[in-house]
């Protein structure tokens, strides 16, 4: 394996699964990385048909709220994020995309760091010709909802919503990434474990 591939495998292996499905997805991703298959999207939207994505979910610890966006292309309510470019490590994607999509620099949560919290394998929606599989590494970034520098890229998003965990979990899953509720439960559990009493 190349050094980049080995590093990505270590990043994925470091994710502690929240449930059986995440354990299954993490195992499938590690097998995929080890197979030597191309990891990066080379030709949008679907070549190769399986490729790396970095989500980054803005989290305001003071209010316990997360920022989700109205994603133009998919028509879904999603976290910001983007495809990893060739040779790019997942946190490098977060740093690049965060400035492009939110206008702020990506800052990791002190208790979570730059590694992903969650890993998923998801077949995208759309026509059969455009369908592909996203291997998504879900990062969490530290953003205050009052930060005046925060601006959503109008080319990518039609708006955004700061939501509490309960508000997010009340949204119908067909409007979200299919793993969004599981991610929210995992983040809420982890945050609850480190929050001051």
Question: How far apart are alpha carbons 195 and 36 in whole angstroms?
Answer: 40
Which tokens sit at 20?
């059986």
Among the listed residues 25, 11, 188, 175, the one whose alpha carbon sits nearest the alpha carbon of residue 88: 11
Per-residue confidence of the chain (197 residues) as pLDDT tens digits?
788 999 999 999 999 999 999 999 999 999 999 999 999 999 988 899 999 999 999 999 999 999 999 999 889 999 999 999 999 999 999 999 999 999 999 999 999 999 999 999 999 865 555 778 999 999 999 999 999 999 999 999 999 999 999 999 999 999 999 999 999 999 999 998 886 64
Q: Give the burial string for 162-190 (b: 16+ CB within 10 Å, else e).
A: bbebeebeebeeeebbebbbbbbebbbeb
| 158: phi then psi, degrees, rounded to nearest 5 | -95, 0
Pair 41, 51: CB distance under 8 Å: yes
């Amino acid at each position: 394996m190349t050094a980049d591939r080995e590093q990505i495998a270590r990043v994925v292996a470091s994710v502690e699964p929240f449930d059986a499905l995440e354990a299954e997805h993490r195992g499938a991703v590690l097998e995929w990385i080890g197979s030597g298959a191309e990891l990066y999207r080379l030709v949008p939207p679907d070549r190769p048909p399986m490729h790396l994505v970095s989500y980054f979910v803005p989290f305001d610890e003071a209010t316990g709220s997360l920022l989700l966006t109205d994603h133009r292309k998919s028509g879904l309510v999603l976290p910001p994020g983007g495809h990893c470019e060739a040779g790019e490590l997942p946190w490098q994607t977060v740093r690049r995309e965060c400035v492009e999509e939110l206008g702020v620099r990506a800052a990791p949560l002190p208790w979570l760091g730059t590694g992903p919290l969650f890993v998923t394998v998801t077949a995208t929606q759309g026509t059969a010709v455009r369908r592909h599989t996203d291997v998504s590494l879900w990062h969490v970034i530290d953003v205050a909802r009052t930060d005046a520098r925060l601006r959503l890229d109008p080319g990518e998003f039609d708006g955004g919503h700061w939501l509490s965990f309960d508000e997010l979990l009340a949204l119908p899953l067909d409007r979200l990434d299919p793993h969004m509720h599981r991610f929210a439960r995992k983040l809420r559990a982890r945050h609850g474990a480190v929050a001051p009493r």
